[in-house]
C-alpha cells in the first residue's frame, strides 16, 4: 500500500505575476525549484496564505535568480500580485520507505530568496516574516 506524504514545499513565496492569457501552470524561479528539488511540469498544490484560496497546477521553470512566482491561466483569478503563497508537492511512498523520508522545506524571504532549507517541521513552529 502507498501513502501520500509531503515531498517538499516553498514557504511564503511572494506572487510576482498573474497572467490570465497563459495556458496554465505556475512559473517559479529555477533556483527555488532546485532548492525544493522540484522539477518542471511537476504537479503542485498552491495555498494562498493572504487570500485563503487553494489550487493545483504544475511548474514551469523561470529564470534563475529572478525571483519569479507567476500564476498563469485560470488560477490567476485566485491570487493577487504580492500575495504570500505556499507551493507544495507530494509523493507516494511504500510503507518501507516512510521511516527514511524527509521533505525538503524551503523558507523564503525578501525578493523570493531562500534563507533556510530544512527537512522537518515541528508542531506550532512559526516563521518570522522577512
Annotated catalytic residue 58: yes
Q: Which of 25, 41, 90, 115 is catalytic?
A: 25
| C-alpha angle 44-46-47 in degrees, rounded to nearest 5 | 145
| CA–CA gap between residue 55 and residue 108 (Å, rounded) | 20
Catalytic residue list contains 111: no
The active-site residue out of 22, 41, 58, 115 is 58
Burial class (CB in 10 A: 0-12, 13-18, 19+), 8: buried
Active-site residue list? 25, 58
Amino acid at each position: 500500500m502507498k501513502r501520500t506524504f509531503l515531498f517538499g514545499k516553498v514557504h511564503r513565496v511572494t506572487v510576482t505575476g498573474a497572467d490570465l492569457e497563459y495556458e496554465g501552470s505556475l512559473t517559479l524561479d529555477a533556483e527555488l525549484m532546485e532548492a525544493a528539488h522540484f522539477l518542471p511540469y511537476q504537479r503542485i498544490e498552491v495555498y494562498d496564505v493572504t487570500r485563503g484560496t487553494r489550487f493545483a497546477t504544475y511548474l514551469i521553470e523561470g529564470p534563475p535568480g529572478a525571483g519569479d512566482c507567476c500564476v498563469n491561466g485560470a488560477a490567476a483569478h485566485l491570487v493577487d500580485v504580492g500575495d504570500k503563497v505556499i507551493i507544495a508537492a507530494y509523493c507516494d511512498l511504500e510503507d518501507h520507505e516512510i521511516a527514511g523520508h524527509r521533505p525538503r522545506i524551503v523558507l523564503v524571504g525578501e525578493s523570493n530568496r531562500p534563507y533556510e532549507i530544512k527537512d522537518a517541521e515541528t508542531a506550532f513552529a512559526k516563521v518570522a516574516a522577512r
